[in-house]
A and B are shown apart, each in its own frame.
Chain A
Amino acid sequence: MSTTELWARPIESLAPAIRDGKLSPVTLTEAYLDRITRLDGKLKSFVCLAPDALKQARQAHEEIRSGSWRGPLHGVPIGVKDNYLTADMPTTAGTTAPGIEFARRDSAAAARLRVAGAVLIGKTRMHEFAWGNVTPPVRNPWNLDRVPSGSSGGSGAAVAAGLCAAALGSDTGGSIRMPASACGVVGLKPTFGRVSRAGIVPHSWSLDHAGPLTRTVADTAHMMAVLSGYDPADPASQDRAVPDYTRALGKPIKGYRIGVCRNHFFERNQEAVKQAVEAAIYDLAAQGAQVIELKIPNLEFGLAAIYAIELASSTAYHDRSLRAGRTAHFTPDVRTLVEMGRLVSAPDYLKAEQLRTVLTEDFRQALDKVDVIVGPTTPITAWKVWEWSVKVGTKSESVLAASWRFTFPYNLTGLPAVSVPCGFDKEGLPIGLQIAGRPFDEATVLRVAHAYERTHEWKDAMPAL
């Protein structure tokens, strides 16, 4: 097996080779480390590499050679977003502010990956405290003048560039799915309560989700098999059986009801995004799915609700830093957001939580009629570094307001939602298709995503770096 192409292979291809002894985890880890050395100077997707990455790989190699293959992630290098605590690497949550330190122990997700035998290769860069969608100074592998989006921008860029086989991200308003869309990879925000957040630096307790970014939908299924499950250390965790997500893959979607919500999700998109997503809907219909157009009310109030909850929660979490004056050392945008959270009144916060009840019911009624809801992940492709507004149609709007418009409804409602690549704009920037489903029905979401993915070649496209 040629080592020069290892970095381009998804886990679904690497795992059988590792299991059968045709590929050593040491060779694979060396291939990624070499690629990181050569490319990450311009991408800046990692903040640190595990000093014992090769030791982890050698241990996996020995175990597998002795007949103890643990599963598809055994010996596979995975990047970890820098807000997940890790025992062998420091955690910064993207901040350089003095006086803020995090424990040196494994988060629940990191611990699960270690039990599965994964090689935790390094920590990926994130927007400070997960409070943004740019992730400076990370660059987009498809165009180094563009942002990778965020806040899991390092994870998105690293997976897209083939610097690791998969990565962990976190998603409070779209922070897994937006970089997945911008970087041309798969990103899943699971149902709230499906994957433990224990040991992840909080941003907004009732909106934060943990999940993977991968090259393919099957890889997401493999990651979810390891990450999912009850954890009493996360108050939101639910004790529910974890299905075999891979069993949902490769199955037909004939007769599936595909919901297309024309209000909100299709009202203001860049032309290339609109065309790619309409083509994807057409392709799903061509596979025998029934497309049902629907309207979900009250979405126009969602932005207020997520602003109120996210701002108030973040400020409550950072209260100690605020009182100690440490926010002065935050980056200017994050500092302002954290200070601003005190302006959200308690009645406005609770009204936002009331609206969540309304939206959750609205989506339940929609998902009574359809199996999944599809649409664009973001209305825009990756924007230029230091560009704060973009043109969408004839209107110019802020990249913050535009980029998360279609992702945050699923944080407010806690529903599972995946972004899967569905094409490129004329500048060669990736476009994401978002597929959302019922609570704890990630299997259907992945089944539809896989049905789309396998009839296209987007997953085989790699950025020229």
Chain B
Amino acid sequence: MSEPISDRPLDPYLDILGLDLPPDRLNEALDSFRSVLEEIRKLRELDLTDIHPCVIFEPTAAYRKEPGA
């Protein structure tokens, strides 16, 4: 568990994203993320307000029986 969040300013990478990396690794990750972000920015432009995401909560899954049970 990391230190409690006190009154100090939040670090967007460490506190919000949980990305606990030394500066050189963080820069590497950010630099590599550029091409991904370029694509994601296109997606952000789409209005998908009325679209249900492909994520379905299935409350009976835990009750599925093993074969032969």
Contacts and interface: CB of A to CB of B under 8 A. Distances in A.
Interface string B16-57: 011111000100111011011101111110101001111100
B43 A342 contact: no
A305 interface: yes
Contact of B39 (A304, A323, A340, A356): A304
A307 B40 contact: yes
A343 interface: yes
A340 B65 contact: no
Contacts of A348: 40, 43-44
Contacts of A356: 53-54
Interface string A323-339: 10000000000001101
A303 interface: yes
Contacts, number: 90
A308 B53 contact: no
A351 B43 contact: yes
Nearest to B64: A232
B16 to A, nearest CB: 9
Contacts of A401: 35
Contacts of B20: 323
Contacts of A350: 53, 55
Contacts of B55: 350, 353
A422 interface: no
A175 B42 CA distance: 25
Nearest to A301: B43
A288 interface: no
Nearest to B45: A301
B46 A351 contact: yes
B53 A354 contact: yes
Nearest to B61: A235
Contact of B40 (A231, A304, A353, A354): A304
Interface in A211-254: 230-233, 235
Among A235, A323, A340, max chain B CB count under 10 A is at A340
Contacts of B7: none
B18 A342 contact: yes
A353 to B, nearest CB: 3
Given A340-B33, A343-B33, A304 B43 contact: yes
Contacts of B21: 339
A118 interface: no
A360 interface: yes
Given A232-B66, A301-B43, A305-B43, A342 B19 contact: yes
A18 to B, nearest CB: 28
B42 A358 contact: no
B18 to A, nearest CB: 6
B4 interface: no
A206 interface: yes
A206 B55 CA distance: 9
A312 to B, nearest CB: 11
Contacts of A418: none
B59 interface: no
A340 B43 contact: no
B30 to A, nearest CB: 7
Given A232-B64, A305-B43, A343-B17, A354 B33 contact: no
B43 A343 contact: no
A343 B37 CA distance: 9
A343 B40 CA distance: 11
Given A357-B52, A358-B51, A352 B43 contact: yes
B23 to A, nearest CB: 13
A304 B19 CA distance: 21
Given A339-B25, A348-B43, A206 B36 contact: no
30 contacts: A206-B54, A232-B66, A235-B58, A300-B42, A301-B43, A304-B36, A304-B41, A307-B36, A337-B32, A339-B21, A339-B28, A340-B29, A340-B33, A342-B18, A343-B19, A343-B30, A343-B37, A344-B40, A348-B44, A350-B53, A350-B55, A351-B43, A351-B53, A353-B53, A353-B54, A353-B55, A355-B43, A355-B46, A356-B54, A358-B51
Q: 6 tightest CB-CB pairs across the interface, nearest first?
A: A353-B53, A304-B39, A304-B43, A356-B54, A354-B48, A232-B64
